[in-house]
Structure 1
């Protein structure tokens, strides 16, 4: 890999419509696995009723600003980094902004295999979760004072996995994972060093959105006194890597070689 895939928040030319909303696709063409990501901006005291999708999974990551999301049955306050997955086109919903808001909307195509696995088991939709309500976990590639929260685990929403990492002066230094591609949405006052495939690092700040293809080593580490605070968003690139039934004494690493 020779280049970085990153869109800097400061480079997005926001042009609000009459309803105080703006949306722009980001990192288009960087991944051919059926995911399209959009950076969205909603002015304070405005609201938007997003398009509904019948056959695609849609995930919203609310990274900046307070507000709330409502559908016909419930309402959820957005007071911190939060996540929302609507129930396809079964119920419309509205996003209301109390402050100026910024968020990612990710549209995930579902093939026949995805739909079959989803029907077998999935998180209940619509789904809403604040990041601090996620399950805290530890991982050897992260610093001792780095906190990680799992938001969407393997098998809960097709091939999508999602979590949050936060620390000061450290972060994540991870070996490449050939089975999953990864996006990184930095939030808050983040200012950390992103390095992919041992290239010279670049600085990623709050609001920026980057992509790590499946395979290369990567690190997201803050200098002393700086914060690393980001959502990691992964997608299994091949269905067979997601759920494999192993025969007796068979090892996963050997199966994935074929």
Structure 2
């Protein structure tokens, strides 16, 4: 079994996650990801829904929910109608105000993140937020360019800063290259591997020559604490494809953006 805690970061392998998930009579299972590692208001679960089954996730008045659909086709039904999940996709429900339902056409895997909203988060949300509920297929999201990514690496922005409190969300995808990034001290980062991912992730502090490397495949999950340098790069003919999810540890830093 892959080591879950390394000196500079944490990993949760797809096989270990699946082993912790127990299906109920409705064809649904979930496992908390890296339980107990992050205690600043985000809890993430890997969810599994068998083909032909449906679920209506719990609604919250004081928490936001952000879902990454990583594998399997399905449908999401909400107040806006029926959304077809035919590729990697993303969903943010409207707190407790609107119910929604997920229907699996194929066996599905997705990550459900529950984000606590403190007093300042709620005040910022009430001043300005994107229109909810929010559903996007990956191919519908805007591409961006960043100097730490290879010339042929595709990056897309899903949630921009201040759209939904202190979280930011995007993707990176490439064959034979990826991201080589200096640490960002104000933002913690999670990564969810999707597609045909088979790449190397190295995390640490290059100035201290203490980078650690681990292999990453589709379905894996990782957490990089704020500040650590991180490289996520595939060998030639291999794919790097991950959803990155960031949370501002410093609320004042977010306010200054």
Under a length normalisation based on structure 2, what TM-score does the superposition of the two structures give?
A: 0.93
- Spell out the pairing of 1:1-258 with structure 2 (5 A cutoff): 2-11=7-16, 12-13=18-19, 14-197=21-204, 198-244=210-256
- Paired with 2:226 and 2:127, the residues of 1 have a C-alpha distance of 26
- Paired with 1:132 and 1:221, the residues of 2 have a C-alpha distance of 22
- Paired with 1:44 and 1:229, the residues of 2 have a C-alpha distance of 24
Show structure 2 runs of 5+ residues with no match: 1-5, 205-209
- Paired with 2:256 and 2:22, the residues of 1 have a C-alpha distance of 46
CA RMSD of aligned residues (A): 1.2
Task: Give how far 1:10 is off.
Answer: 1.1
How big is each residue's C-alpha offset from its partner over 1:70-127, in whole Å with a ceiling of 9 and x where there is no partner?
Answer: 0244111100000001111112111000111000000000011001111111111000
Task: Give how far 1:3 is off.
Answer: 4.8
How big is each residue's C-alpha offset from its partner over 1:172-202, in whole Å with a ceiling of 9 and x where there is no partner?
Answer: 0100001100000000110110111052311
State the SS of the aligned residue for 2:212.
coil
Residues 204 and 95 of structure 1: CA distance in aligned 2, closer, same or farther (over 3 Å) = same
- Paired with 2:224 and 2:241, the residues of 1 have a C-alpha distance of 17
- Paired with 1:30 and 1:71, the residues of 2 have a C-alpha distance of 33
Tell me the equivalent position of 1:254.
none
State the SS of the aligned residue for 1:201.
strand
How big is each residue's C-alpha offset from its partner over 1:6-46, in whole Å with a ceiling of 9 and x where there is no partner?
Answer: 11111121321110000111112221211000000000111
How big is each residue's C-alpha offset from its partner over 1:193-228, in whole Å with a ceiling of 9 and x where there is no partner?
Answer: 011105231101001010000001001000111000
How big is each residue's C-alpha offset from its partner over 1:221-256, in whole Å with a ceiling of 9 and x where there is no partner?
Answer: 0011100000000010121010128xxxxxxxxxxx
Residues 141 and 73 of structure 1: CA distance in aligned 2, closer, same or farther (over 3 Å) = closer
- Paired with 2:9 and 2:165, the residues of 1 have a C-alpha distance of 27
Under a length normalisation based on structure 1, what TM-score does the superposition of the two structures give?
A: 0.92
Bigger Cα displacement from structure 2, 178-187 vs 195-204 = 195-204
